[in-house]
Structure 1
């Protein structure tokens, strides 16, 4: 999808009926997420291009979002909410804490591979310097809780879950980020790296898992 492409007159969206304002807002957010995933750069996004993608007038976007930063913030907030639900589902198919934590990290790696553009905007864009993306903090909370469950079950040496989770997240994010930004190079399988991070940083055993 070309961010600058225009919608044909026949594709222009009609006026929303009463009560459909929230639906339009979600349509705008969904279009923004698709475009950000392709662009990989929030500053390359324009509200006018988003409006064309949805099939509405540019002024309709401003009814819901004051400016581009407000729109990108809302889109990334929705993206993060959806990602957390997917991560929780990936964990839920496993019973023991170590397998659940591992599944969480592996799913994140798969998500980044499939949505490299969104990952760059979510974690590497200058929006992170202009605004506090508070919704990302829940990702840290949930990873820390996953590590804490391993400690509580005696499946990892005693330690501070928050510190261990920070080191683990730093390692995993570094690993996926370098793959996103240097896709032409050959890297070891991400699954193997994640297993090493879990054993070396958290101290869990992955035998028979």
Structure 2
């Protein structure tokens, strides 16, 4: 992929010295961090190229290859890190909520929506941005894609399952209903991002959660 020519990619760091033994992992982390910075600043995955990332880190572009064979591999690492942060926020929501399963489910769902608000560029990229690697033409595998968000979904499934066990949800299939609930949350997050002037009712999220989780009213 060619260079984007955006202002975000035109701010190189000083040339970085050769890594000492054992510092390769740090360089890999720096490459991912630089890609995330470019995405947050430009709001466009096309700003992330091998050359723009190399300039941001302060290395020559070929120095990226031992860590990432191509641009889709860098994008995969960016998306994986974003999902890891989302999962961390959802787990914190579970841990910081009381033992009330209904409140726990609401906390998980609200944490999801808050993540979409605080990192809109990353969120869009996670769920269908321009980043769509062609399997077979890049280093990204089908397993890489099918496992994205698996842990986050399991947290939502467990939270809904807790409501069923406590008798405050009438869901007969917590897994299927958790997927439907995620679709509702994702749809709201997306529309809220693209329809910013729409007068969303203050209880929109609560209505979505209550209906799709089959919670007793």
Instruction: Note if 1:197 corresponds to 2:211.
Output: no
Measure, in 1, the Cα distance between the counterparts of 2:133 and 2:191.
21
Could you say if the C-alpha distance between residues 140 and 102 of structure 1 is closer, same or farther in structure 2, counting changes exceeding 3 Å?
Answer: same
**2:167 aligned counterpart, secondary structure:** coil
Aligned runs of 1:39-50 on 2, under 5 Å? Answer: 39-50=42-53
**1:124 aligned counterpart, secondary structure:** coil
Q: How many residues align?
A: 202
Deviation at 1:88, TM superposition (A): 0.3
8 Å contact kept, 1:33–1:79: no
Aligned runs of 1:1-209 on 2, under 5 Å? Answer: 2-7=7-12, 11-94=14-97, 95-128=99-132, 130=134, 132=142, 133=145, 134-189=147-202, 192-205=203-216
8 Å contact kept, 1:33–1:76: no
8 Å contact kept, 2:10–2:52: yes
Measure, in 2, the Cα distance between the counterparts of 1:129 and 1:168.
27
TM-score, normalization: structure 1? Answer: 0.88
Could you say if the C-alpha distance between residues 15 and 184 of structure 1 is closer, same or farther in structure 2, counting changes exceeding 3 Å?
Answer: farther
**1:150 aligned counterpart, secondary structure:** helix
Measure, in 2, the Cα distance between the counterparts of 1:197 and 1:48.
43
8 Å contact kept, 2:180–2:212: yes
**2:87 aligned counterpart, secondary structure:** helix
Measure, in 2, the Cα distance between the counterparts of 1:146 and 1:128.
31
Deviation at 1:120, TM superposition (A): 0.9
8 Å contact kept, 1:51–1:58: yes
5+ long unaligned stretches in structure 1: none
**1:130 aligned counterpart, secondary structure:** coil
Measure, in 2, the Cα distance between the counterparts of 1:90 and 1:162.
20
Measure, in 2, the Cα distance between the counterparts of 1:129 and 1:58.
21
Deviation at 1:14, TM superposition (A): 1.6
Deviation at 1:35, TM superposition (A): 1.6
Measure, in 1, the Cα distance between the counterparts of 2:134 and 2:100.
40
Measure, in 2, the Cα distance between the counterparts of 1:83 and 1:159.
27
Q: Which has the higher helix share?
A: 1
5+ long unaligned stretches in structure 2: 1-5, 136-141
**1:195 aligned counterpart, secondary structure:** helix
What does the per-residue CA deviation read over 1:19-68, in whole Å, with 9 as the maximum and x for residues that have no partner? 01001101111111122223333233211111111111111112210111
Could you say if the C-alpha distance between residues 160 and 102 of structure 1 is closer, same or farther in structure 2, counting changes exceeding 3 Å?
Answer: same
